Structure 1
């Protein structure tokens, strides 16, 4: 079976980011061997500036766009700050939407998750994130919202250990894999 190449983006720059821990747990423990999940850092991404978008685009932006372009599917994880997605995630999506709305996310199978210490688990950030992805014409994979509430109690020793959260997240990745495989062009074989 062909390996599926997925890209993970974390909307937090914190060293001890729960969302980064979850993405690393996914990449090292939860995705099956037939999936390769590569994590791409947003730490060096400058603030969006339309004056340079399409001209002298910063190297970090080009690297991000290239990573998304070459991925077959994308997983976005973000905390919820002030009832919305993080500025880090919004900034990355702004860079990915241009220039002229020619986004490498357009038509790309995508799933999202939010993880917060709050009991809401980031549902408001999820809504805002989905609204932005719809505007960019990313293909949101049909799967229930992946929200991980009370995340601090579900992470220990640098990994997501809560079995129900792990299973729900792994099932979301399976839905993403299925969509990627369904979208792949059929290979012709001759008898």
Structure 2
């Protein structure tokens, strides 16, 4: 029997009905029973990153964020692209990890989805640079950009495009395998 793995799932959007939040929940439903997901919904609770506050204990929301990341086996990020880049709230959550190291060598996949034909490619590229800098184990073969997401998923968050569903399942398999190898 395979070990149960704890995956921290993060949407880069603060909108409740964001395509990327719906996509994240759709991926959770596609996952095998060995993957136990915890959705991190504290992006809006974190203060703006300030090195003066980045002390050992730091603000309570930052402590909670770091603890949840520390206790995860892997990370799934689904993000939109805002202004040709990473949404500010998502960048802020990453900034709080730069000096603390909870993401060190943690298997991570990034899915950037957009209703545009570019599929969030600029946010995706920028996010990968930051994750590399904080030494996340980015699983490139599991990372995706998904253009025209609103045509591939219905308003209830069900993936209606079989190629997209297959690609997302493959990403989850890659994440599961990498987490088991770290085991």
Q: Normalising by structure 2, what TM-score?
A: 0.93
Contact 2:85 2:122 in 1 (8 A): yes
Q: What is the aligned residue count? A: 180
**Structure 1 residue 102: deviation in Å?**
2.7
Q: Which of 116, 119, 122 in structure 2 is aligned with 1:121?
A: 119
Alpha-carbon distance between aligned partners in 2 of 1:55 and 1:179, rounded to the nearest angstrom:
30
**Structure 1 residue 43: deviation in Å?**
2.4
Contact 2:109 2:142 in 1 (8 A): no
Alpha-carbon distance between aligned partners in 1 of 2:109 and 2:167, rounded to the nearest angstrom:
12
Other-structure match for 1:12: 13
**Alpha-carbon spacing, 1:49–1:133, altered in 2? closer, same or farther (3 Å):** same
Alpha-carbon distance between aligned partners in 2 of 1:144 and 1:36, rounded to the nearest angstrom:
18
Alpha-carbon distance between aligned partners in 1 of 2:165 and 2:86, rounded to the nearest angstrom:
22
Secondary structure of 2:44's counterpart equals coil
Other-structure match for 1:85: 86
Alpha-carbon distance between aligned partners in 1 of 2:163 and 2:140, rounded to the nearest angstrom:
19
Contact 2:141 2:171 in 1 (8 A): yes
Secondary structure of 1:132's counterpart equals helix
Contact 1:109 1:180 in 2 (8 A): yes
Alpha-carbon distance between aligned partners in 1 of 2:57 and 2:174, rounded to the nearest angstrom:
38
Secondary structure of 1:21's counterpart equals helix
Secondary structure of 1:54's counterpart equals coil
Question: Can you list the C-alpha shifts for 1:86-137, whole angstroms capped at 9, x where unaligned?
Answer: 111100100122xxx2320011111101011110101111110000011101
Contact 1:31 1:37 in 2 (8 A): no
Q: Is 1:71 aligned with 2:69? A: no
**Alpha-carbon spacing, 1:182–1:144, altered in 2? closer, same or farther (3 Å):** closer
Q: Which runs of 4+ in 1 moved over 3 A?
A: none
- Tell me which structure has the larger Cα radius of gyration: 1
**Structure 1 residue 47: deviation in Å?**
1.1
**Structure 1 residue 44: deviation in Å?**
1.2
* Uncovered stretches (5+) of structure 1, i.e. residues with no partner: 185-191
Other-structure match for 1:31: 31
Other-structure match for 1:107: 105
